[in-house]
Amino acid sequence: MKQSSTQVNIEALISKAAGEAVKALYGMDATEKMLQLQKTRSEFEGNLTLVVFPFVKAAKKSPEQTAQEIGEYLTANCAAVEKFNVVKGFLNLSVGDGAWLQLLDAIDKDERFGMKQVTDESPLVMIEYSSPNTNKPLHLGHVRNNLLGWSLAQIMEANGNKVVKTNIVNDRGIHICKSMLAWLKYGNGETPETSGKKGDHLIGDYYVAFDKHYREEVKELVAQGMDEEKAKQEAPLIREAHEMLVKWENNDPEVRALWEKMNNWVYAGFDETYKKMGVSFDKIYYESQTYLKGKAKVEEGLAKGLFERHEDNSVWADLTNEGLDQKLLLRSDGTSVYMTQDIGTAEMRFKDYPIDKMIYVVGNEQNYHFQVLSILLDRLGFKWGKELTHFSYGMVELPNGKMKSREGTVVDADDLMALMVEDAYKTSMELGKFDDMTEEERREIARVVGMGALKYFILKVDARKNMLFNPEESIDFNGNTGPFIQYTYARIRSILRKAEAEGLKPAHAQVDLAEKEVELVQKMNEFGAAVEQAGKDYSPSGIANYCYELTKVFNQFYHDYSILNEPDEQKKAVRLMLAKNVAKIIKNGMSLLGIEVPERM
């Protein structure tokens, strides 16, 4: 007698039955790996394929005979398997319509289908991303960093983890003093209010101004006969900046007050950019608060014999046993380096949260830094130190190398986002997609589509690779783009609204499914596996590409089969259920990328 097909996961059901078949037929206990099913190749009949070579030795028969026997067992004993065919050692299984319809019904009942629940027992994953300096606005590199960090946080949560999103702001150091000094010298009391500029842009202008005047001073000293390297150290501006840094370190009240005022301008600007980008943080740390803790932790390690002090009073970690070199932790004058600050930040975070896993979203130029940090944190007793993950990503550039920017070399994040939204508006107007809409609706949809295009184009690329971002290519309503997926979602929502107006509802019914309908259910069913794999690989691109594949399969189905004009009422109800759940999964999948989907376009 066949088992009742009550399980939602068809693959799990068939794998279990295949294990029972192998045990009953050959007395063999097959491992889970041996029983893994693959999607049947398009040139063969079937939905799922079992490779039988691992069972041939126990069966003492040819691969074809072994496959035949297992196939016969499954059709007799597993409700999900309707028929089979054998191609050499490959057993191709056709799943019955009843099982696919049951699966569709289960998908329909689960609003978060394919995503795991977070519980009190879930491990806590902390993800650090953004890490801006307070001397300039966020740029194109930060855009990729923030989008990757935010998406990774959503993916880890969808895999059943508690997630804490953190940011470490580089708010101290010589680069900050350069902006401050330039503002004092050339600012005439200018503020974001008096200039009409965002605070981060205003401070960025003064960072550029410092560099301009500093270069002129160096040039003048070289013209007077000074060696260029010495001129760079002796230029009055750089000396003043260093003096300001010393005053900051010594808590000079005037310097600290100016530092606080200018940083607050920058933070207000950052917050505006983050809001437009659709990212946020649960906790923000500041280098100015972590570097002293880092120094204390290094001194503690020194006392335990984990580090060594050299004759010039500098402190080092000897990593030669790990195949690396020696790493400076404190300079001879006692000041900290980036590594020290990261140790201090780790100390603060470890006290704030019971971290099980720490992920740093930082560019690949810092690969060595995080290799060293992992060793040092492990030495210092952080339980997650050895297992920390550096989510290393490649650089992103534009086709012409740069775009309008206040520095002239860096692509400004605010400019880029504004350009994308404006391009989305123009493209939609040209294609007639904004007909019968109010201007307010047009602007809102342009924002959703423009930001979706930007995010999708960046996130669909494997994060480890360097990438070329082409704004024009990204806003295309065809092909592997955000707008293509968003438009398909909006089209489905339009169909469902029309159906509702006609009194039609998606419903479960026993009907014969067409091949493309089965393909659609099978593709929807793969969402959970795509989410799980993206979590294992730390790969937002896996989700992006799944959303594109699902959208393509739906469009192929929609091209061949009518939904609202289908004469058979039961088939129509099932097709509406198919469409409704494709839309749901697209929306959930895109939300893992931080991308909104519009109800109409």
Chain segment 504-545, per-residue pLDDT in tens: 999 989 999 999 999 999 999 999 999 999 999 999 999 999
Chain segment 449-504, per-residue pLDDT in tens: 999 999 999 999 999 999 988 877 888 888 899 999 999 999 999 999 999 999 99
* pLDDT for the residue 401: 56
Chain segment 416-463, per-residue pLDDT in tens: 999 999 999 999 898 888 888 999 999 999 999 999 999 999 999 999
3-state secondary structure at position 322: helix
* pLDDT for the residue 400: 67
Distance of CA 478 to the CA centre of its chain: 23
Query: Is residue 137 a contact partner of residue 200, using CB atoms and an 8 Å limit?
Result: yes
3-state secondary structure at position 20: helix
* pLDDT for the residue 336: 81
What's the alpha-carbon Rg for the chain, to the nearest Å? 30
Return the CATH number of 10-95, one of 3.30.420.40, 3.30.1360.70, 3.40.50.1970, 3.10.150.10. 3.30.1360.70
Helix ranges, 224-252 (H): 228-234, 236-249
Query: Is residue 153 a contact partner of residue 540, using CB atoms and an 8 Å limit?
Result: no
**Beta-carbon contacts of residue 47 (< 8 Å; ≥ 6 apart):** 39, 40, 93, 94, 95, 518, 522
Residue 403 has pLDDT above 70, yes or no: no
* pLDDT for the residue 2: 37
Query: Is residue 171 a contact partner of residue 146, using CB atoms and an 8 Å limit?
Result: no
3-state secondary structure at position 198: coil
User: How many CB atoms within 10 Å of residue 117?
Assistant: 8
Residue 265 host element (H or E)? helix 253-277
* pLDDT for the residue 383: 86
Picking from 172, 176, 453, the residue whose alpha carbon sits closest to that of residue 295 is 172
**513 phi and psi angles, rounded to 5 deg:** -95, 140
Residue 7 per-residue DSSP state: -
> Who has greater pLDDT, 262 or 4?
262
User: How many CB atoms within 10 Å of residue 521?
Assistant: 25
pLDDT band at 398 (very low <50, low <70, confident <90, very high): confident
Task: Round to whole Å and give the CA distance between 383 and 354.
Answer: 10
pLDDT band at 316 (very low <50, low <70, confident <90, very high): very high
* pLDDT for the residue 435: 83
The upper half-sphere exposure of residue 342, i.e. CA atoms within 13 Å in the direction of its Cβ, equals 23
* pLDDT for the residue 4: 33
Task: Round to whole Å and give the CA distance between 487 and 498.
Answer: 17
**In this predicted structure, which of 220-224, 409-413, 574-578 has the lowest mean pLDDT?**
409-413
Task: Round to whole Å and give the CA distance between 541 and 393.
Answer: 12
Domain boundaries, the chain: 10-95, 172-281, 285-354+369-379, 417-591
Phi-psi region of 476 (alpha: psi -120 to 50; beta: other; left: phi over 0): beta
* Amino acid in the structure at residue 544: A
* pLDDT for the residue 535: 97
Helix ranges, 322-379 (H): 338-352, 367-379
pLDDT band at 65 (very low <50, low <70, confident <90, very high): very high
pLDDT band at 3 (very low <50, low <70, confident <90, very high): very low
Maximum pairwise Cα distance, the chain: 99
**Angle, vertex CA 91, rays to CA 87 and CA 97, nearest 5:** 115
**C-alpha distance from residue 28 to each of 14, 20, 88, 289 (Å):** 17, 9, 21, 61
Chain segment 197-209, per-residue pLDDT in tens: 999 999 999 999 9
Task: Round to whole Å and give the CA distance between 547 and 51.
Answer: 28
Picking from 136, 480, 272, 151, the residue whose alpha carbon sits closest to that of residue 470 is 480
> Who has greater pLDDT, 460 or 12?
460
Task: Round to whole Å and give the CA distance between 258 and 203.
Answer: 12
Residue 330 host element (H or E)? strand 326-330
Task: Round to whole Å and give the CA distance between 569 and 425.
Answer: 39
* pLDDT for the residue 489: 98
What is the rounded average pLDDT of the residues 358-380? 95
Written as one string, the DSSP assignment of 493-546 is HHHHHHHHHTT--------PPPHHHHHHHHHHHTHHHHHHHHHHHT-HHHHHHH
Task: Round to whole Å and give the CA distance between 558 and 492.
Answer: 10
Mean pLDDT score of the chain, rounded to an integer? 93
Residue 100 has pLDDT above 80, yes or no: yes
133 DSSP β-pair partners: 170
Query: Is residue 573 a contact partner of residue 108, using CB atoms and an 8 Å limit?
Result: no
Query: Is residue 46 a contact partner of residue 94, using CB atoms and an 8 Å limit?
Result: yes
Written as one string, the DSSP assignment of 388-420 is -EEEEE--EE-TTS--S-SSSSS-BHHHHHHHH
User: How many CB atoms within 10 Å of residue 339?
Assistant: 19
**Beta-carbon contacts of residue 552 (< 8 Å; ≥ 6 apart):** none
Task: Round to whole Å and give the CA distance between 273 and 201.
Answer: 11
Whose tokens are 């983050």? That residue is 274
3-state secondary structure at position 309: strand
What is the rounded average pLDDT of the residues 169-191? 95
* CATH tag, 417-591: 1.10.730.10
* pLDDT for the residue 433: 83
Task: Round to whole Å and give the CA distance between 35 and 54.
Answer: 9
Query: Is residue 337 a contact partner of residue 330, using CB atoms and an 8 Å limit?
Result: yes
* pLDDT for the residue 55: 96
The upper half-sphere exposure of residue 596, i.e. CA atoms within 13 Å in the direction of its Cβ, equals 16
